[in-house]
């Protein structure tokens, strides 16, 4: 219900909070700020506008370190400013998850660990796979896709298709890919992580099967352009690019950068 509410007001939030001064006014009311900006974490404006402003003012009072630093990691990844990722990734890993943290927050912790190791060594840390699956074991299977939705698509598009497939096809990890409106984005981010991995492994039929299951009409505004850009990237990897989502793809330099690295190294 809260996701539906925030999506319904998406254009209002983007318009009325497009300037930092307006976001500062909202920030002066901590309860209102947290309600709006935590339930409408808008990837379309994470580089400029509403969400970028929210992250900037959030730095003045970091109530939830994994949320703030996790958003900074994502912001710098999507903008292609990867040199700025590490300080926030380190801060997120040093804080770590806490008992009772929502699975999305825990997923941002694992994403931060991925970046710290990748930026230092350019490789995948095998311990990350083990710790990730251990974390999944402690969750109700209905929440497994929430653990992966922020992290696995990024790991996959960065070229680590083998460990992503290992995680997602493990008997320890279950995905309840529900079709309800509010869960469609979470489920399709999981599908897109698999699509990106299968495409890079040249598993054409598996890729097509997953693509046919995408529920694009259910993608709500906060994530819509991001999902479309990931889908276009997967199409490029598998060698059947279309113009369907090319405009959204052009909005995210970091996704373009990741794809270029994979294609050059293929």
**Residue 242 — pLDDT band, cuts 50, 70, 90?**
confident
C-alpha to C-alpha distance for 143 and 104, rounded to whole angstroms: 9
C-alpha to C-alpha distance for 92 and 98, rounded to whole angstroms: 12
Mean pLDDT of 206-221: 92
Residue 196 main-chain phi, psi, to 5 deg: -60, -40
Q: Interhelix angle for 221-238 vs 253-265, to 10°?
A: 20
Specify whether the CB–CB gap between 145 and 187 falls below 8 A. Answer: yes
C-alpha to C-alpha distance for 14 and 24, rounded to whole angstroms: 14
- Quote the tokens at residue 117: 């190791």
**Per-residue pLDDT tens for 96-150?**
999 999 999 999 999 999 999 999 999 999 999 999 999 998 888 778 888 999 9
Percentage of the chain beyond pLDDT 70 is 94
- pTM of the predicted model over 0.75: yes
Mean pLDDT of 233-252: 94
């Amino acid at each position: 219900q809260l996701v539906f509410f925030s999506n319904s007001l998406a254009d209002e939030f983007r318009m009325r909070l497009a300037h930092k001064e307006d976001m500062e006014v909202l920030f002066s009311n901590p309860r209102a700020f947290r309600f709006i900006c935590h339930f409408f974490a808008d990837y379309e404006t994470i580089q400029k506008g509403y969400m970028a402003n929210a992250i900037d003012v959030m730095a003045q009072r970091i109530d939830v370190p994994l949320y703030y630093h996790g958003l900074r990691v994502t912001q710098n990844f999507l903008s292609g400013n990867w040199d700025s990722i590490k300080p926030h990734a380190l801060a997120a890993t040093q804080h770590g998850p806490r008992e009772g943290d929502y699975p999305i927050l825990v997923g941002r912790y694992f994403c931060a660990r991925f970046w710290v190791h990748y930026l230092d060594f350019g490789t995948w840390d095998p311990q990350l796979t083990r710790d990730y699956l251990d974390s999944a074991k402690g969750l109700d299977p209905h929440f497994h896709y929430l653990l992966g939705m922020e992290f696995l698509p990024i790991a996959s598009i960065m070229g680590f298709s083998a460990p992503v497939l290992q995680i997602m096809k493990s008997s320890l990890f279950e995905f309840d890919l529900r079709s309800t409106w509010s869960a469609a984005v979470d489920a399709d981010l999981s599908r897109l992580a698999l699509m990106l991995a299968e495409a890079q492994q040249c598993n054409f039929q598996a890729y097509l099967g997953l693509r046919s299951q995408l529920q694009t009409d259910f993608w709500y505004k906060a994530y819509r352009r991001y999902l479309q850009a990931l889908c276009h990237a997967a199409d490029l990897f598998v060698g059947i690019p279309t113009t369907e989502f090319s405009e959204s793809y052009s909005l995210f330099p970091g996704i373009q950068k990741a794809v270029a690295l994979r294609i050059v190294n293929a």
